[in-house]
Structures are given as C-alpha cells and as structure tokens.
Amino acid sequence: MFVNPHIAGLPGSYLFQEIDSRVEAFLKTHKGRPVLRLGIGDVTRPLPKFIAEKFAQAALNMATQEGFKGYPPGRGYPFLIKKILKNDYLDRGIALDEDEIFISDGAKTDAAAIQELFSSSARIAFTDPVYPVYVDSNAMAGRLGEYDGKRWAGAQYLPTTEENGFIPPLPSKNVDVLYLCYPNNPTGTVLTKEQLKKYVDWAKENDALIVFDAAYKAFISDDNIPRSIYEVEGAKDVAIECCSFSKTAGFTGVRCAYTVIPKSVLGLGKDKQKHSLNKMWARRIGSKSNGVSYPVQVAAAAVYEDEGKRAIEENIAYYMENANILKAALNDCNIKYFGGEHAPYIWLKAPNQFDSWGFFDYLLNTCQIVGTPGVGFGPSGENYFRLTAFGERKNAEEAAKRIRDTFKEA
Amino acid sequence: MFVNPHIAGLPGSYLFQEIDSRVEAFLKTHKGRPVLRLGIGDVTRPLPKFIAEKFAQAALNMATQEGFKGYPPGRGYPFLIKKILKNDYLDRGIALDEDEIFISDGAKTDAAAIQELFSSSARIAFTDPVYPVYVDSNAMAGRLGEYDGKRWAGAQYLPTTEENGFIPPLPSKNVDVLYLCYPNNPTGTVLTKEQLKKYVDWAKENDALIVFDAAYKAFISDDNIPRSIYEVEGAKDVAIECCSFSKTAGFTGVRCAYTVIPKSVLGLGKDKQKHSLNKMWARRIGSKSNGVSYPVQVAAAAVYEDEGKRAIEENIAYYMENANILKAALNDCNIKYFGGEHAPYIWLKAPNQFDSWGFFDYLLNTCQIVGTPGVGFGPSGENYFRLTAFGERKNAEEAAKRIRDTFKEA
C-alpha cells in the first residue's frame, strides 16, 4: 500500500520539541533558581468552580435513567448553540441562525479540518508568522507543493512584522483561501474593524474565502476591535469563524469549541454550481464524527451564565495583569514589544541583535526564562520572541524581576 | 473558490432521515399503542454510577489548582493507555507497546480519518452491507470514483450474505485497504480466528492493509471468536484496530475510543521507502487535534476498575437478554435471522418476500416497531432488516409479543 506522501514527507515540527530538549540539557547542569516557563500557550488557572460543578452534575446525571444521554447531535446540543448565538452574536448586533453554528471538540480540530471543503488545487495564503495548524493541515492535503526548509513553494506568505505595523499585505488575486487569526497568535497584535474590512473586501472581489480564527477574542478590551469578523460588513458572505472555549474559559483540558459557517458562504462546484459550505460541513460532520461529550457541552453552556461570565472575566483579567507586569519590565529595559494588550501574547523584538534562537538561549542561561523563538512560527518571525501571559502571578513577577536585573541599564 | 467536489457531490445518506420521515408520517394518523424503536444502534442504559462518579470527581478537580489540567497529551493520558494495554491486550496474550495505542473521541472519528494516511489512489474494499463511515470517508477523499445510485465504481464490494455464510470473499489482488468490522455492524455476525486469518494472510501476500473495527468486541461470549485482530498471527504487520467505549461501556454520549497502530505496520512512500503508519498517525494527531477531555479519559479508565468491569458486564448482559427475547419470538414465527449472539444486532431475513423497505412499512403498520432496512447498508443488504438489542427490557418484551401476535402461525 502506498501512503499519503504529504504526511509521510512532512518536515518535522520541532519547535516545542527543540525547546524541550534545550531546556532539558540546561537543567542537567543548572542547580540554581527554578526555570520559569513562559513558552507554551496553555492556560493555568483552575476551571471556575461554578462551571466545574455544572460539568460534574451532568456527568452524575448520566448515571440516571432520566439524565442519561446517548449520541449527541452531530452539530451540537441546541441548549449550547442557543447560548452562543445569543451571547456572542445576537447581543452584539450580529444576526446568525442556530444552524450556522457547529459545536466541536476544539478550534484546532476545526481549523485543521475545514480545508477538506476546499478543492485539492485551492491556493492558500496565511500570515507569516503563523499558527502552524493552517499550514500543516493544507500541506498534509498536498496543497502547498514542496518545502524548501523555510517555506512551502505553493503557499502565499504574508509577512506581518514591525515594518508593516503588523498589518499583513493583501494576498494576490489568485489566492482562494486566506487564514487570519485575530487577536493574533503569535504576535498578540489586533486589527481594527476598518483594517479587517480590507481583507473582507478583497475576498469579495476575488471570490475567495477567509478562515477567521477568533480563539483569543475574549482578551479584547476595546470595542473598536472586532471580536467577530461578522462585525465587518459583508463578512457573512465570505468568512468562516472558528472560536474556542480553551483560552476564553480555561477549557484546554475540557475540549469544546465552535465554528460559524453562514449559509451565505458559497463555493463553486466542478459543475460551476454554487455550493453552500454550511451544508458541506454538516454533511462532513454527519459522516465523520459523533459530536461532543454531553457533560462537556453542559460545562460550555455554564460559561454563559452570569456566574460563569464573572468567573472567566476574572481569569482573563488575571492573565492580562501578568501581561502588564511583563510589559512594565520590558519598558524599563527598553526592549521593544508588541501585543500583550488584547491578547495573552507578548511579541518582543530580541535585543542586542539576537536572532530568535540566540535570544532563547541567552534568556534561558541568564534569566532561566523559557519563551518561544519567533522564527518557529515562520521565517518573518526571525529576531522575534514570544512570551505568554498565562501562568501564576508570582512567576510573572519573578520573570519581570529577572528581566530587569539582566537587561535594565544602570 | 472551488470546493471539494467529492463532498459537494456526495449522494445524500438518507437512511435514518427516511426512517424518521416515514415514522413521523405514520404517527400523524396513528392513535394506538406506542411505537417501539429498535432501529438506531445507540445505548440506553445509564452510565454505571461508579464510572459517572469518577468522571464527576475529575471534573470537580479541574476547579482546584492541584487537579487542574490543561492540554491533554495528543495521543492520550498514559494512565488510560496503560489500562487499555494491560486489560485489552497484555492480559489476553497480545504484546503491544504503549506508543501503539492512541486515545480519541470516537471510533467513528478514527475510522473516518485513518484514510488520510493512504495515498489518494489507494484502492478500497469493504463488506456489503457495511457501516457507512468507511465508504463515505473514502468517497469524500475522492478515492471511490463515481456513484451510480447503488455502488461506487472505484470501490470493491464484498457481498456478505446468507449464501456465503456471512463470510466475505477475499478482495482481489489490486486492493490496498480492506475494512472489516467484527462483530459485524449491521449483520451481527462474527468470524472465528481461522476465518479471520485468511484476510490477514491475503493482506500479507498483497502488501495490503486491514482496518479492523472492533467496536462491538465486548459482546463476544465465546473465546474462539477473536476480540482483537491481533489474536491472529501476523496481524500486527498488516492491521490497524479501532476500538470504542461507546457500546462497551455506554459511552456514546461521553465520547472516548482508541485506535491501535502497531509500529510494524508499514506503507510505501513515493520514494519507495517504507513508512511507519504509527509515526504518520502520531504526526497527524499532533498537527490536527489537541486530544481528548481529561475528565472523559478518567471516566474511560474507570471502565477497567473491578467495579467498572462488573457494571459494564451487567449492561451488556442486559442487552443480550433483550436479544434473546427478540430471537425467541423470531424462532416462534419461523423468521430466519443471523447475529444477535455475539453482537447487539439481529439481522433478519424479511419474511413473505418483502424487500427491506416493504418490511419496514409492514412492521411499522402492523407491529408499530421501527427497525432499519438492510438495503440502507448496501445493495447486498436488500431483503434484510436490522433490529437492535439496545433499549429497555419492557420494550423488547413488548416487541416480541407484537411479533408473535402478527407472524406466528396458528
């Protein structure tokens, strides 16, 4: 049997493995203060008690004849879809229907699977640096051509750097699908409604699709920054939106997310007929999955109760205070950075002409702080470095102190 | 943007929709006794209390700093993998390693995704009748050619009927992948170790792969019938096995499953090099998912505790007693049937020359019993009809009574 050459031949994604092995090597000789990990983008605050209790109660109810649930609806339970629709869209002035929202076990799952709806020759564009899922899922499907060690020949990279104010250029006309993630991972930067509108207009003009990843929308603290691409006029005709409870509600270990596919988003068939991507996704889900755990969906619905909302806002404020503590230290040291205002990521420019990995080693050796080398997210990430605001307060404070001790000029 | 024509053009899977609409139409005029649903293969017994309590406790622990868990390992938590390995394999004399077992949210998800590892031109064979996921997932990937209303031109159908004793013929030499599901859905039939060995030998001789779906293995009550394809010599070189807690432990609403890919299963690359499907799957999972909910994995691990084992055995015995009650009625009425001994499905030959849908209508109208027309699972299912043993005891008893009242000759 022949295998899929695009998976067999996929270059290793060694970013976090390489980080781990460098940290491990360091720890073998290091005997001093503990290493502070500000690398991986995983939440650390416990699940709000209110949400955990609803989760647990649903699990217990499964042991009763009245409370038992078998296969969940493939597209998600209406009780959860209704809450998402009301809180995340209708109450914000965005009109959508219940059957335009699909529950899943993760935004990563959806962001990776959405490409199954595209023709095998669809041309793909993404920002550079980029969250790797958009790239890898299309590479595995054979859409990106050959990899030269830095770039896929068949993909369009949109550099997103200090030089263009972290506003990626528009893709060229021949691109079919543009992936955007805002608030952005890894740069932590955002786009205003006006800035985002340019991509929507480009997509409309070029019959292209935007896959919009809004996993970090809960970190936005300014009403002029869209939490949903559907705040932009016309987006309902050209955009799919992936959202997640992972970072919003600390669900990385619980696993729940949702994707919005408006019925007005259409693609062309071989027959030149227009096809609804909503219908195609429904068909795909029906054929390939059996939906999301019932108690997990109950937990996600609790996020929208008043007590759930208060609790998750507190957690987000906690992380953003970590970001403020880190940013204050960077300011004091004249280290340039971006993000960290509407996102849990701080994207700093490595000082002293360090490249990304050079700064990684230096920071590990001098400060015992682990971050993520920017170049790991794409070639335009070179010389940048990502710190996350997730983690305990005392770690953020200690990291800030170590940064000041090392980089602050006397 | 052009869409994937293999999803856009996929013929509707109207089986259960058509069932629902016929039942709905019937209910509009029917005023008598309640309709008994023996159609859909979903469990109905509550989750064992012991398992639900472990599940709930893990959910509650997520609200504590010590018990909180972020992203799960992509391939599953070692605490669960170790239990599966010991109970389902090592204790049964099958040697496997921990890194050959992958946890997922459902056997359907895995059975649908496994084809991503195959080359786009891989030739596929499956039994007829068949669980539709193997067919649809390959059709969506464009491997099966055109559909003529009954069959996909590019697939090989292996008729599995009374005539061949429900032992499918071997695929032809040019087949790359054979899907087998035993105990079988929908026929409820099984293969002995000796019978299964022929397919393993065929796969070895032809460098082919077997995807073995063992979702119903917990229903086997005879030690000569393999619960795992790895009981057959040589299978570790040619077979992938998908297993599930859905039917075993009543987890259809909890969502947990696992897939075994031995490291010795290899496929050919374009470069004519051999590639490990285990490594390819690990890479795929790492790039496309974030693993399974932590409390769900704790619940699955509880299935292997003594108290969990006892409880799930009781549930299985309960369903199989339903099967016995239904089979006794069919015997009394001289209705020929298969299965229902090591599987929760009874596959009956429609009496009185009925075709599958004709018998569906007749049974609904005379007995107010809903089953599944066999032809819905493939052309060789014509004239057959599936009843499930899931459901409440009183419903099985009532269905048996109605069958006797209608079909038993005086």
Tens digits of per-residue pLDDT, A129-166?
Answer: 999 999 999 999 999 999 998 999 999 999 999 999 99
Paired tokens of B222: 């005879």
Query: Is the confidence at residue A231, as pLDDT, over 90?
Result: yes
**Phi-psi domain of B43 (left: phi exceeds 0; alpha: psi -120 through 50; beta: other):** beta
Does the distance separating the beta carbons of B45 and A140 come in below 8 Å? Answer: no
Residues 95-134 of A with CB under 8 A from B: 105-106, 108-109, 112-113, 116-122, 132-133
Nearest to B116 by CA among A5, A380, A249: A5
Q: Are B375 and B161 in contact (CB under 8 A)?
A: no
Paired tokens of B354: 């009925």
Q: Determine the average pLDDT of the residues in A316-322.
A: 98
**Minimal CA–CA distance to B94: which of B234, B265, B281, B192?**
B234
The Cα of B305 is separated from the nearest Cα of chain A by a number of Å equal to 17
- The answer to whether A295 contacts B295, with C-beta atoms less than 8 Å apart, is yes
pLDDT at B145 > cutoff 90: yes
A chain contacts of residue B252, beta-carbon cutoff 8 Å: 70-71, 290
Grade residue B90 by pLDDT with cuts at 50, 70 and 90.
very high
Residue A279 and residue A262: Cα distance in Å, rounded? 10
pLDDT of amino acid B324: 98
Q: What is the dihedral of CA A140, A142, A143, A149, to 10 degrees?
A: 70
Q: What proportions of chain B, in percent to the nearest 5, are helix, strand and coil?
A: 45, 15, 40
pLDDT at residue B271 in the model: 83
pLDDT in tens, A160-192: 999 999 999 999 989 999 999 999 999 999 999
Kindly indicate the confidence band of residue B11, based on its pLDDT and cuts at 50, 70 and 90: confident
Q: Give the pLDDT score at A173.
A: 86
Residue A15 has what pLDDT? Answer: 86
pLDDT of the residue at A17: 84
**Average of per-residue pLDDT across A292-307:** 98
Confidence at residue B120, expressed as pLDDT on a 0 to 100 scale = 96
Instruction: Considering only the beta carbons, identify the residue of B109, B250, B284 that sits closest to A289.
Output: B109
A208 touches chain B (CB under 8 A): yes
Identity of the amino acid at A308: G
- B167 against B20, higher pLDDT: B167
Report whether B200 contacts B229 (CB < 8 A). yes
The three-point CA angle A19-A25-A26 to 5° equals 90
Q: What would the 3-class secondary structure string for A157-222 be?
A: EEECCHHHCCCCCCCCCCCCEEEEECCCCCCCCCCCHHHHHHHHHHHHHCCCEEEEECCCHHHCCC
Residue B14 pLDDT > 80, yes or no? no
At residue B110, the pLDDT reads 98
Quote the distance between the C-alpha of residue B157 and its chain's center: 18
Interface with chain A: mutation pick from B293, B319, B388, highest number of A CBs within 10 Å = B293
3-class DSSP assignment, residue A401:
helix
Among the residue ranges A12-26, A71-85, B165-179, B315-329, the one predicted with the least confidence is A12-26
So what's the ipTM on this one?
Answer: 0.97
Question: Helices B132-140 and A277-288, interaxial angle, to 10°?
Answer: 140
CA distance A111 to chain B (A): 8
How would residue A40 be classed by pLDDT, with cut points 50, 70 and 90? confident
CA-wise closest residue to A103 among B46, B105, B74: B105
Distance of CA B32 to the CA centre of its chain: 35
Average pLDDT, stretch A316-332?
A: 98
Mean pLDDT, residues B165-190: 97
Do the Cβ atoms of B140 and A116 come within 8 Å?
yes
